[in-house]
Amino acid sequence: MPPRTLVLFDIDATLLDTQDAGVVAYEMAGAKVFGVAFSFTNVPLHGRLDSENYADAVRRHGLGIDHAQHVDAFKSAYATALEKVAEDRGGFEACPGIVPLLEFLVGLPDVQVGLLTGNWEHTGRFKIRAAGLDDSIFGCNAFADHGEHRDELVPVARHHFQSMHGAAPRRIIVIGDTPRDVQCATAGNAESIAVATGVFDTDALEETGADLVVEDLLLTATLLEFLRR
């Protein structure tokens, strides 16, 4: 029997904690490619796509160039910088509860696990491996490479699922730590679990209208009941 439920995970502050390693790597890559370290002071990065953050940085720093013409060079420099940051820090840390939760979901025959993330695919998968997690279990995914805004990503993941399994999923559940994760789930006619392992607390996440709000992804009865519906 093919899976009927697609569970999509955000990466940063949902699967793992990089302590803003991505921002540090952005700054290093900006210096490498453009000769200026990108500054993101007072810029709300959480929940946005890497491509959005990169394009915004080029505009805000007045570089007077077409960001699209330099994106490949920037992505390469960013990947190198991120690997250096991870090496210096001894890798990244998986978020509380994520390892047993993934083991539980992968063991369910009617569940497909995937990613819905603002990360570019190459560096997003690197972050997962740097946190000691197996990125190969995520077989149905939507990355920053697949759209210009997060709201475009649930349909991408749904299409991938249908191509893999011959039918659309009965349920799609987006799990993330920001209001943008909830927003993209709503836009894509999916359900949402908002987890307060990032910068937003449960009160802020409750205001998003998420279907379920939790402190973390430990295997509580509430979380398991929601996933097993």
How far is it, in rounded angstroms, from Cα 207 to Cα 157? 26
pTM: 0.95
Side chain identity, residue 129: R
How far is it, in rounded angstroms, from Cα 14 to Cα 110? 22
Q: Which two tokens stand for residue 28?
A: 């290093």
Side chain identity, residue 215: E
* CB contact at 8 A, 14 and 25: no
Domain residue spans in the chain?
Answer: 5-18+92-227, 21-89
Domain spanning 5-18+92-227, CATH architecture: 3-Layer(aba) Sandwich (3.40)
Side chain identity, residue 96: P
Give the β-pairing of 171-176 and 191-195: parallel
Per-position pLDDT tens, the chain of length 229: 789 999 999 999 999 999 999 999 999 999 999 988 888 877 788 899 999 998 888 888 777 777 778 899 999 999 999 999 999 999 999 999 999 999 999 999 999 999 999 999 999 999 999 999 999 999 999 999 999 899 999 999 999 999 999 999 999 999 999 999 999 999 999 999 999 999 999 999 999 999 999 999 999 999 999 998 8
The helix (H) or strand (E) run that includes residue 84 is helix 71-89
* 5 backbone dihedrals φ, ψ, rounded to 5°: -120, 135
Please calculate the CA angle 38-40-46 and round it to the nearest 5 degrees: 130
How far is it, in rounded angstroms, from Cα 126 to Cα 107? 24
b/e map of 43-65 (b: 16 or more CB within 10 Å)? Answer: eebbbbbbbbbbbbbbeeeebee
Which neighbouring-strand residues pair with 16?
12, 94
Three-state secondary structure along 100-169? Answer: HHHHHHHCCCCEEEEEECCCCHHHHHHHHHHCCCCHHHCCCCECHHHCCCHHHHHHHHHHHHHHHHCCCC
